[in-house]
């Protein structure tokens, strides 16, 4: 068969069918897991009473305590059930550790009143065995919805109300003194911690493990890994090896899989720069200016956050926490990352739409400007609302206009509504721009995939509205990861693949057939593990071991497509060096730094999401590791290394298309310096701090328990603390050699694009 004939031959319909089957089975399974989450979530008792019937606190106290926890963004300082930020304590683990200590002291006093201060070793062992029995016993009565605390548990609650009051009164690293000023909020907050700790240690009815599968590791309370944690860790390795073997066999047999394709037709002429752009495409330059500013702000916030870990009392003697507490800065750091990356992708979609269809609908330019204005309202409105919210200045409107308190979904519900509306507007603009391409048989299937991927990005933000401030935390975390995971490791990956495919097609280095097949292949591989693999976030968040089985096995399969990204990186290099078949000369693509960024995406996806992600996704590793520095080690490499650098690649591709070769050559020095600064800086962050510090902290969990490894006693001393200072080299490289030159070059490119007569 001639190469030209092969190029125009349609793909087998089984590509489409396979992708649909994978999605249908995956979401059916995930729906079952979500239904079981509602059923199996740790119950919230109506009353918590002593053995004599005295009411210690109520279900209303617990739910009000959760509102306080969320309003003040405590999840952006410490963690609950291992999820959140890493500077402060894990509130559930810290409460549990103190509860075990106080219960031990109470039991010792009851059993040995005369010698409680100096017990014999045999008596100490007897008391500690009794502590485990007391704390593991579940005294919740489903009929009356009352939970009974023993004398030790009741004494712990009473004492910890004062301890947590003192904690917030005197201040903590990155948190000013008196962070929670309302005295009547401390008892409900402690009640919430008490409930969360009870769920971690009380056995589920009919089970020999707690509601959180015995997380955290706290030997004094009898919390050690369950048998299921070991079992599904072992079986997940079988899934990994089987998946790798199957895919490598397929790639060996069908050597046309991947970006190379089986076609070798004459390549189209190289693109001529600048492109003849439409009005809406010109306006995307403004989006990229916003991307540059938001990226700079996000990086500056990240630098201040890192400094809190080495100098918790200030910023080079300046009391930064008084004005910008860690809770707020981390919120802004994460939110700005999502905003600038999403803005780059949104602008990339708007730019590619008319490029694919070859036309622009009437009013598209005005729609793009309206979307940009809406973006500005959401960004600055939500950032300001979060500042007001954590300072308790919004009253009962805190949930709607302030800080919702859920990591990554912090912006108030009103701003979420505006964001969802903006995403719908973007989807409408994409549909209008791409409709003409649907009539072209050559581009129809790839165009449909582009629209479906964009629809998935919008659709899977809807679960953000499925919970409220008083929803059971196990249910909140379920829906939270429907969004976070299915965005990041599902439809963002798919949308990214489509965008890259379209970019390569527009650069004239792959055919439509190859681009379409790669999108289908990636959709099948990513979604096969990625959809059900969402459950790896739910190992220890109040769900049954069924979630651990699914999460462990299917998240292991997520490593398979990430391993193949090393092949993608090589294909990107080959495509960049492609030669025109007719002339035998290198294609003057003019997209060197966009393609280099795509190569880096492939490398970081394998390292950050593949290697570091798999390291912490095994249930038995996650049990000890969750909430330690190995988590941000994975997060930084995966979020910035993959999605951030892809945003950079999209931005450089679009801006290059707006400039002549001469004008672009004057800017390349900024992009060259920025590219290497970002990648070297990120690598130094991993090598000097995040990875070695994470290993040290994991070892301390194994030695002394989870609460100790998260305490200031560990994090502010020794080699762990020294490595935080060493990270300064990576941070400075990332910021001043990477971010600053890139941002400066992008802003110059934006100004140049808006001034260039060729674009008018």
Taking a C-beta distance cutoff of 8 angstroms, is the pair 548, 228 a contact?
Answer: yes
pLDDT at 758: 43
Tell me: pLDDT of 270 over 90: no
> 287: how many CB neighbours lie within 10 A of its CB?
23
Name, in order, each residue with C-beta under 8 angstroms of 363's C-beta and a sequence gap of 6 or more. Answer: none
Give the tokens for residue 462.
Answer: 């809807």
The number of C-alpha atoms within 13 Å of 350 and in the hemisphere containing its C-beta is 34
CATH no., domain 45-224: 1.10.760
* Residues 651, 323: Cα–Cα separation, whole Å: 34
Give the alpha-carbon dihedral of 161, 85, 739, 674, to 10 degrees. Answer: 160
Distance of CA 722 to the CA centre of its chain: 27
| Average pLDDT of span 731-742 | 97
Question: Helix crossing, 545-557 with 13-40: angle to 10°?
Answer: 150
Tell me: pLDDT of 610 over 90: no
pLDDT at 506: 75
* Residues 454, 496: Cα–Cα separation, whole Å: 10
Report residue 267's pLDDT band, with 50, 70 and 90 as the boundaries.
low
Tell me: pLDDT of 458 over 80: yes
Question: pTM, whole model, 2 decimals?
Answer: 0.93
Tokens 């490499």: give the residue.
637
pLDDT averaged over every residue in the chain:
89
| Average pLDDT of span 104-111 | 91
Taking only the tens place, the pLDDT of each residue in 417-441 is 999 999 999 999 999 999 988 888 8
Taking only the tens place, the pLDDT of each residue in 468-501 is 999 999 999 999 999 988 876 677 778 878 888 8
pLDDT at 78: 96
- Domains of the chain, by residue range, sit at 45-224, 320-459
The secondary element (H helix, E strand) that includes residue 48 is strand 47-50
Report residue 273's pLDDT band, with 50, 70 and 90 as the boundaries.
low
Q: Which of 1-5, 172-176, 310-314 has the lowest mean pLDDT?
A: 1-5
pLDDT at 3: 46
Taking a C-beta distance cutoff of 8 angstroms, is the pair 114, 436 a contact?
Answer: no
Q: What is the DSSP letter of 507?
A: T
Taking only the tens place, the pLDDT of each residue in 508-528 is 667 788 788 888 888 888 888
Tokens 């007001």: give the residue.
388
* Residues 90, 295: Cα–Cα separation, whole Å: 29
pLDDT at 500: 80
Q: Which residue has the higher pLDDT, 678 or 278?
A: 678
Tell me: pLDDT of 582 over 70: no
Q: Which of 322, 331, 75, 330 is nearest to 177 (CA)?
A: 322
| The 3-state secondary structure of 684-731, one letter per residue | HHHHHHHHHHHHHHHHHHHHHCHHHHCCHHHHCCHHHHHHHHHHHHHH
Q: Which of 120, 166, 241 is nearest to 556 (CA)?
A: 241
Report residue 100's pLDDT band, with 50, 70 and 90 as the boundaries.
very high
Q: Which of 384, 432, 283, 92 is nearest to 760 (CA)?
A: 283
Residues 506, 508, 514: CA angle, nearest 5 degrees:
90
């Amino acid at each position: 068969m001639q190469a030209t004939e092969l190029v125009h031959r349609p793909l087998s319909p089984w590509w489409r069918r396979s992708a649909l089957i994978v999605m249908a089975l995956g979401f059916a399974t995930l729906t079952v897991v979500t239904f079981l989450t509602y059923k199996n979530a740790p119950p919230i008792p109506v009353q918590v009473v002593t053995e004599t019937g005295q009411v210690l606190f109520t279900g209303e106290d617990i739910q009000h305590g959760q509102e306080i926890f969320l309003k003040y963004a405590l999840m952006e300082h410490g963690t609950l059930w291992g999820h959140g930020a890493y500077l402060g304590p894990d509130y559930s683990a810290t409460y549990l550790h103190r509860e075990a200590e106080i219960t031990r002291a109470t039991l010792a006093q009851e059993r040995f009143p005369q010698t409680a201060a100096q017990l014999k070793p045999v008596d100490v062992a007897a008391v500690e065995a009794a502590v485990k029995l007391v704390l593991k016993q579940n005294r919740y009565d489903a009929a009356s919805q009352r939970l009974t605390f023993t004398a030790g548990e009741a004494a712990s609650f009473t004492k910890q109300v004062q301890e947590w009051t003192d904690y917030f009164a005197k201040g903590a690293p990155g948190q000013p003194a008196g962070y929670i000023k309302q005295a009547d909020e401390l008892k409900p907050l402690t009640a919430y911690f008490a409930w969360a700790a009870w769920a971690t240690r009380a056995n589920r009815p009919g089970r020999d493990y707690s509601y959180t599968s015995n997380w955290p590791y706290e030997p004094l309370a009898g919390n050690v890994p369950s048998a299921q944690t070991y079992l599904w860790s072992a079986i997940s390795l079988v899934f990994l090896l089987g998946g790798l073997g199957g895919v490598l066999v397929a790639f060996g047999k069908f050597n046309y899989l991947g970006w190379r394709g089986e076609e070798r037709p004459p390549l189209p002429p190289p693109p001529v720069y600048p492109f003849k752009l439409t009005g809406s495409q010109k306006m995307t330059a403004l989006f990229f200016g916003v991307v540059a500013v938001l990226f700079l702000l996000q990086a500056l916030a990240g630098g201040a956050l890192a400094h809190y870990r080495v100098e918790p009392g200030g910023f080079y003697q300046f009391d930064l926490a008084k004005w910008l507490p860690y809770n707020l800065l981390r919120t802004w750091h994460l939110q700005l990352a999502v905003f600038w990356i999403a803005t780059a992708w949104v602008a990339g979609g708007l730019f590619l739409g008319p490029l694919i269809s070859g036309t622009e609908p009437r009013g598209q330019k005005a729609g793009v400007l309206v979307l940009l204005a809406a973006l500005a309202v959401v960004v600055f409105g939500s950032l300001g609302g979060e500042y007001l919210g954590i300072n308790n200045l919004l009253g009962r409107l805190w949930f709607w206009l302030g800080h919702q308190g859920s990591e990554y979904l912090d912006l108030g519900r009103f701003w979420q509504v505006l964001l969802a509306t903006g995403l719908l507007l973007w989807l409408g603009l994409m549909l209008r721009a791409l409709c003409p391409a649907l009539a072209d048989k050559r581009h129809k299937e790839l165009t449909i995939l582009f629209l479906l991927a964009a629809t998935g990005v919008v659709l899977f933000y809807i679960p953000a509205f499925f919970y409220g401030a008083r929803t059971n935390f196990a249910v909140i975390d379920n829906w939270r990861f429907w969004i976070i995971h299915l965005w990041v490791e599902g439809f963002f990956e798919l949308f990214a693949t489509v965008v890259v495919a379209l970019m390569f097609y527009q650069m004239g280095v792959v055919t439509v057939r190859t681009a379409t097949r790669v999108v289908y292949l990636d959709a099948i591989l990513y979604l096969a593990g990625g959809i059900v693999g969402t459950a790896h976030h739910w190992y220890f968040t109040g769900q049954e071991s069924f979630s651990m089985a699914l999460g462990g096995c299917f998240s292991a399969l997520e490593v398979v497509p990430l391993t193949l990204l090393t092949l993608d990186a090589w294909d990107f290099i080959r495509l960049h060096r492609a030669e025109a078949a007719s002339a035998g000369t290198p294609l003057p693509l003019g997209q060197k730094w966009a393609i280099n960024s795509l190569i880096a995406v492939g490398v970081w996806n394998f390292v950050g999401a593949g290697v570091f992600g798999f390291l912490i996704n095994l249930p038995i590793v996650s049990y000890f590791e969750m909430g330690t520095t190995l988590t941000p080690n994975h997060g930084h490499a995966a979020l910035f290394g993959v999605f951030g650098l892809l945003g950079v690649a999209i931005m450089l591709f679009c801006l290059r298309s707006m400039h002549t070769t001469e004008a672009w050559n004057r800017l390349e020095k900024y992009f060259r310096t920025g590219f290497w600064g970002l990648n070297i800086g990120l690598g130094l962050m991993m090598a000097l701090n995040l990875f070695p510090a994470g290993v040290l902290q994991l070892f301390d969990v194994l030695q002394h328990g989870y609460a100790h490894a998260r305490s200031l006693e560990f994090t502010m001393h020794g080699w762990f603390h020294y490595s935080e200072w060493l990270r300064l080299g990576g941070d400075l490289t990332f910021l001043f050699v990477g971010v600053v030159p890139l941002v400066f070059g992008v802003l110059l490119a934006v100004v140049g694009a808006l001034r260039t007569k060729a674009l008018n």
